[in-house]
Structure 1
C-alpha cells in the first residue's frame, strides 16, 4: 500500500556497488578470454545480423499468416512450424533472407529487412500474439524499429550444433553490436524468460557488453502488475524474484542447456548471474513505479471526474464505480493526503462488505488497506482491530498457512513491535517464520523477510544471542541468492557487524565492517 517507488527504493537500494563489481567481473572475463587456448571450429560461424521492421511484422506478416484469428492461441514454436517454415521452404533461408530475395523484384519490400538495432529476447513457449502485443506497446513511438527476432532472423531449416567457443565469443559479440536488448516478459507473475537458459544467457551477454537492457510487457500485463502492487505492496515483486534461479533454467535442446550453463560456470557462476538478473528486474520495477507515480501525481482531477461519472451513470455500488473510488483513494495515499484517502477507503470497504460479503478476498484487501493507512499515520488503536479482523477471516476463509494469512500475521506482528508489545509480536513472528519455511521453502523472499523481522525483534529486546544466528542465516542465504557484493547483502553484513559491536565482540565486528566498506 505504500508508494510503489518509495517501497521499491527501500527494498532494493542503489546498486552502484553491484555495478562496480560487475565491471570488475567484466574486466576479469576479458582477461580470461585472451588466454582461452581452445578455439572450436564452430566459433567462426557468423551470427545473422539482419532484422525486420517491426511494423511489417505486426501487420503484413500477421496478415500473411491469415490474421490474428489464425494466430490465436499459437506459441512461437507453433508459428514457426505452421507458417515460417512453409513460407521459406523453397528458399531454404531465413524469413528475412527470403524478403531480401523478393525485394529484388518488389520495391515495396525495400527497407523491410536490414541490419537490426534491437535484439528481442523471448521464450518460444509464449503465445506469439502476446509477444507481438508486448513489442507493439513497448515500441509504440518507434513502430519502424528494426528488430532481430529469431523466428524470422535465423534460418529455421538448419539446426547448427555450436560449441563453447561460439557461445563465449561470437554470440556475445553480436549482442554487443546490436547494443540494445529487449526481453519480453510474460506472464508477469511467472516470468518464463528467467526459467529458459537461452533467455538468461542473452541477458548475461547484454549485461557484460554494456548494451542497453529493457523489459517489454503488454499494457494489459503491466496494468495488472501495477494494480497487484497497489493491493499487496511488494509481495508480487517478491514472487517474481523468487523464481530467479539460473541453475534450474532449461532449454529445448539438452546440449544448448549444457553449453550455456558451462559458459555461466566459467565466466560468472550461478550466484553471480542470479544477482545480475535480480538487478535487471529491480531496475525495471523501479522504473515502472516511477512512471506510475508521475502519472498519478497529475491525474487526481481526472480520477475524481471518472469516479463521479461512473457513480452518476452506473450507480454508487457498481464495480467500476468502486474501482474508480479505490484508485482515487490510492492516489491520495501516494500523495500523503491521508485525510482524503480515509473516507474513500471506508466507503469502499462498506460497499464491498455489502456487495461481496465480509469474508470475500477483495473485501479483506480493503480491510488490510485501511489498516495500513491507519498504521502509517500512527493510529495504532484503529489499525489493530482491522489487522486482527483481517487475520481471523483469512484464517477461516483461506486457512492458517495461506500466504495471505501469513501476510496478515506478519502485519499484526509488525504493529505490535512498533508499539513495543514484544511479548505479543514474538509468537506471531515465530509462527509466521515456521509456516513460511514449510509452505514456501527456506530461501523464499517472504521466508527471508520473516527471518530478518524476528532477528530485528530480538535485537530491539536486547536478546542478542537469539538475534545473532538469525542474522547469520539471513546473511548466508542472501549471499547465495544475490551474491556477496549485492547492496542488500552488504546491508545485512553491516547489520550483523553492528550487532557484534553492541555485544562488544569487536574482533567479529571489525572484519565485517572492513569487508563491507571495501565492497561499497
Structure 2
C-alpha cells in the first residue's frame, strides 16, 4: 500500500475496466520483451510516473482530463502487495470484473453495474513531491471509513502456498478494515488463475497442502515499506482490537476462504457435468480429506459418498478403491463420534480388502487397526485388542518389529494396543507396547520425527495416569520441543501437546503453569484452525478444569459454556466430549449449591453416554457417580446410593477392584452410606 496526501480527503474515485486493459497494453510499450517479471513497484516508475511526469498527478487525475468516462466512484477496493507481478494483479482485477458482470447480467433493474477499481497505483499521486504519509487518525478512522464507503474489497492473494499479504502490515490492516464491518463490506479473496490451478493440483496431490498454508498469521511480525506506516498501523491495531484478535479474525477469514476454494473445485466439475470421471472421484476424495482435516466432518462425509458412488460406477463394488472410500467415510463418522456407523463402513472396507487383496495385505491390516479404534471408542476393549493383534500379525508377517516390510504400520498397531491396555488400567502392559512403538519409530524415523514425539506423548499420558507427574512433564516437554522444530511452534499438533503438558501441570497442582500451557495452546489453535474447530472443545474444558480447581466455579462454567458452543456448532452436541462438558457443568453447579440444576446437566450427559457409549462404559459410570453425589447433596440418599453403586459395579468389572478410580468410587459410596445412616428417617 502506498502513501497518500494528508492535505485533502482520500479520493474515493476508481478506474474502469477499460482503463485497466489499456494500462496493460501500455506495459508492452515499456517492456517490449515481455512484462511477466515486472512488479507493481516497477510499474509505478514505468509507466505510471513516466506518463504523469509533466502533470505531476495521479493516473486517476490524468484520466479525468483525457478519458473522464473511465473515472467514477470506486465500487471495489484492491488490496495487494507491491512486490507482486503487476500482470498477476491486473489480470485478477479483470477476472473479478468479468465475474461481477456475469453475476449481474440477469438483473433486470435497467442499470448496468460497472466495476471501478480503487487501486493505489492509479488513485494515489506517486510523485515524491506530492506524496506524504497518512496521519494516525487517517489510518485508524478515515481509511477504515473509506473502505466502508466503497463496500467491497478484492484481496489479490499470491502465491497460494505462502501468501505475501499475510506478511504485509498494510494488507492485514486492509483485510481487517473489511471484515470488521461485518456485512457492510464484502471481502473477496482471489488467486491469479495460474495460482488457482497450482492450488488445485496441490490439493489433489496432498490434502494437507491447505492446512500447511494456514499455520501462521502473526500481524505483529508484518512489515511495511515505510517504517512510519508500520508504526502507525501497529498503533491503530493496538488501540482497536489488538494483535491477537486481528490474527484470529484474519485466520478465520482465510480458513473460510480455503474451504470455499477447495469446495469450488468439486462444484466446477459438477457444473460442467463432469461427475463420472476418475478425476472427479479423486477431487471429491481429496477435498473430503481437506474438510476432514478442518473438522468439517459432515461435508467430508458428503464428499466421500460422492467419491464412493463414482468409484463404484467406474470400478464395480469390489474394487480396492471402493474399500478405501468406505474407510474414509468410516474415519469421518469415527471423528464425529458415530461409532456404530464407523464400524459399519469399516466392516464393508474389510470385506473388500480381504476379497481383493487377501487377508495378509497391508490394506486389510490397516482396516483391522481402524476397527480396533472404533471398538475402543465404544469401550469394547476385548474386540479392540483382537483387531489390533490381527493387524499386528499382518504387519509382522515378513519380519521382526524393526525390520518388517512396513515397520511403521506395526508401530501403529503396537501403539493402539498400548493405549487400549492403558484404558483398561493395565499400565505395565501399556508401557511395554508404547516402549516397543517408540523403539521402532526412533530407529526408522529418528529422534526428531513427529511420530517419535507422538510416542513420547503417549508414554507421558501413561505416566500421567499413574500419577508420575515429573516423568509425564518431562516427556510432554520433549514432545513439544520435537514438534516445535519439525512442525513449527504454531502447528495444531504442537498446541495439543502443550495441552497435555498443561494437564500434567494441572494434575501435579501447578495450576499457574497449567494455565500458561493451555493458553499458549489456545492461541495456536484459534490462529491455525479458527474459532469453531472441535479441538477447542477440549482446550476450553481443560481451562475450565483449572478454574474449577481454583474453586472458581463461575469462571469454570464460562469456559465449559464455550466448549458446548463449539460442539453445537459442529453438530456434535451428542458427542461423548459434549457429554463430558455437560457433566463438568453439572459438577460446577453442584459446587455452587445448585444441585437441582446440576442434575439437569448430569442427566443430559448420562443420556448421551448411555446412547453413544453404552450403559457399561466407564464414562457413563463416572456420570452416574457424579449424579449420586448431587442426589446426596439434595438429601435423596436412596437415589445417591443407587447411582454410585451402579457406577462402582461398572468400574469393578471394567477396570478391576484395585484401579484408582474403583477405589475412589468405593470411598464415595461409603461416604454416602455414612450420611444416610446419620440422617434421621
TM-score (norm 1): 0.65
Query: How many residues are matched?
Result: 419
Assess, with a 3 A threshold, how the Cα gap between structure 1 residues 414 and 72 changes in structure 2: closer, same or farther.
same
SS of 1:261's equivalent in the other structure is helix
| C-alpha distance in structure 2 between counterparts of 1:80 and 1:373, whole Å | 59
The more displaced of 257-266 and 226-235 is 226-235
Preserved CA contact (<8 Å) 2:266 2:284:
no
| C-alpha distance in structure 2 between counterparts of 1:73 and 1:230, whole Å | 29
Q: Which runs of 5+ in 2 are unaligned?
A: 102-113, 290-302, 313-318, 325-360, 375-386, 396-405, 412-438, 467-471, 566-681
Assess, with a 3 A threshold, how the Cα gap between structure 1 residues 398 and 43 changes in structure 2: closer, same or farther.
farther
Instruction: Name the counterpart of 2:320.
Output: 343
How far 1:160 sits from its partner (Å)?
Answer: 1.1
| C-alpha distance in structure 2 between counterparts of 1:197 and 1:61, whole Å | 27
Q: Does 1:90 align with 2:59?
A: no
Preserved CA contact (<8 Å) 2:49 2:126:
yes
Instruction: Name the counterpart of 1:217.
Output: 191
Instruction: Name the counterpart of 1:260.
Output: 233
| C-alpha distance in structure 2 between counterparts of 1:375 and 1:230, whole Å | 26
Instruction: Name the counterpart of 1:160.
Output: 132
Preserved CA contact (<8 Å) 1:387 1:411:
no
| C-alpha distance in structure 2 between counterparts of 1:85 and 1:390, whole Å | 66
Q: Deviations over 1:49-90 (max 9, x none)?
A: 121223541x32111111785321111001111211111112
| C-alpha distance in structure 2 between counterparts of 1:236 and 1:248, whole Å | 22
Q: Deviations over 1:319-342 (max 9, x none)?
A: xxxx78854764898323569486
Q: Does 1:437 align with 2:484?
A: yes
Q: Does 1:208 align with 2:177?
A: no
Assess, with a 3 A threshold, how the Cα gap between structure 1 residues 140 and 475 changes in structure 2: closer, same or farther.
farther
Preserved CA contact (<8 Å) 2:77 2:119:
yes
| C-alpha distance in structure 2 between counterparts of 1:181 and 1:174, whole Å | 11
Instruction: Name the counterpart of 1:477.
Output: 520
Instruction: Indicate the RMSD between aligned Cα atoms, in angstroms.
Output: 4.8
TM-score (norm 2): 0.51
Q: Residues 106-505 of structure 1: matches in 2 within 5 Å?
A: 111-142=69-100, 145-157=115-127, 158-210=130-182, 211-234=185-208, 236-242=210-216, 244-295=217-268, 302=274, 304-305=276-277, 307=278, 326-327=282-283, 330=286, 334-336=303-305, 340=311, 343-344=320-321, 385=395, 388=408, 401=448, 406=450, 432-452=479-499, 464-465=507-508, 472-478=515-521, 480=523, 482=526, 486-487=531-532, 491-496=537-542, 499=545, 505=549
Preserved CA contact (<8 Å) 2:456 2:478:
no
Preserved CA contact (<8 Å) 1:94 1:156:
yes
| C-alpha distance in structure 1 between counterparts of 2:171 and 2:66, whole Å | 32
Assess, with a 3 A threshold, how the Cα gap between structure 1 residues 72 and 374 changes in structure 2: closer, same or farther.
farther
| C-alpha distance in structure 1 between counterparts of 2:270 and 2:440, whole Å | 34
Larger radius of gyration, structure 1 or 2? 2
Assess, with a 3 A threshold, how the Cα gap between structure 1 residues 284 and 453 changes in structure 2: closer, same or farther.
farther
Q: Which has the higher contact order (CA 8 A, sep 6+)?
A: 1
Assess, with a 3 A threshold, how the Cα gap between structure 1 residues 324 and 289 changes in structure 2: closer, same or farther.
closer
| C-alpha distance in structure 2 between counterparts of 1:239 and 1:471, whole Å | 29
Q: Deviations over 1:348-381 (max 9, x none)?
A: xxxxxxxxxxxxxxxxxxx999998887676866
| C-alpha distance in structure 2 between counterparts of 1:239 and 1:178, whole Å | 30
Q: Which runs of 5+ in 1 are unaligned?
A: 1-41, 104-109, 308-322, 348-366
How far 1:297 sits from its partner (Å)?
Answer: 6.4
Preserved CA contact (<8 Å) 1:96 1:113:
yes
Instruction: Name the counterpart of 1:102.
Output: 66
How far 1:48 sits from its partner (Å)?
Answer: 1.4
